């Protein structure tokens, strides 16, 4: 189980090798994604808080990257954070998410990206539920929900 110190170590010193890689040109990403999904995942944007029904859905299933279909989260790790974005306490595997120090907007945060295709997913914070204490605050448009 990843903890905050593990996330910081990965963000500062280097991420785990990805299970595979997917690379496309910007034109290919634009053609494959909706305008909002492209803006969020490829240009590091953020969707409006509370703009997706994914925030309030808690049925069993798994979530995959909207860009490359890599499994990222299981619904068993999803929780209501009240932030307006889907929140998870742990990725499905340690190597599917990469971490980057993000010092934009005058603050220090840890950005989360798909370790397979480098899609921007959101950020991770140390204020989630135990036992991990992590809150993966994800853009819903960067995820696709799979039924269990």
- Residue 6 to residue 81: CA distance in whole angstroms: 22
Identify the active-site residue in 65, 114, 117, 137.
137
Instruction: Read off the pLDDT band of 55 (50, 70, 90).
Output: confident
Q: Quick one: CA torsion of 21, 139, 147, 98, rounded to 10 degrees?
A: 30
Instruction: Read off the pLDDT band of 88 (50, 70, 90).
Output: very high
Residue 17 has pLDDT above 80, yes or no: yes
Q: Return the number of other C-beta atoms located less than 10 Å from residue 24's C-beta.
A: 15
Q: Are 46 and 139 in contact (CB under 8 A)?
A: yes
For residues 80-93, give the mean pLDDT.
97
What pLDDT does residue 33 have?
98
Which residue segments constitute the domains of the chain, with CATH numbers given? 4-147 (2.170.150.20)
Q: Return the number of other C-beta atoms located less than 10 Å from residue 91's C-beta.
A: 22
The answer to whether 117 is a known catalytic residue is no
Q: Which residue has the higher pLDDT, 108 or 98?
A: 98
What pLDDT does residue 140 have?
97
- Residue 96 to residue 147: CA distance in whole angstroms: 20
């Amino acid at each position: 189980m990843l903890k905050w110190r593990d996330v910081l170590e990965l963000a500062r010193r280097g991420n785990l090798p990805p299970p595979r890689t997917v690379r496309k040109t910007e034109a290919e990403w634009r053609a494959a994604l909706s305008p909002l999904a492209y803006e969020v995942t490829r240009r590091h944007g953020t969707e409006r808080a509370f703009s997706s029904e994914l925030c309030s859905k808690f049925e069993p299933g798994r979530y995959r990257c909207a860009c490359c279909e890599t499994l990222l989260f299981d619904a068993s790790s999803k929780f209501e954070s009240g932030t307006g974005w889907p929140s998870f306490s742990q990725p499905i595997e340690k190597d599917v998410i990469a971490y980057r120090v993000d010092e934009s907007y005058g603050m220090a945060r840890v950005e989360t990206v798909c370790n397979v295709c480098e899609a921007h997913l959101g950020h991770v914070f140390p204020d989630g539920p135990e036992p991990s204490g992590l809150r993966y605050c994800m853009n819903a448009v960067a995820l696709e929900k799979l039924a269990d």
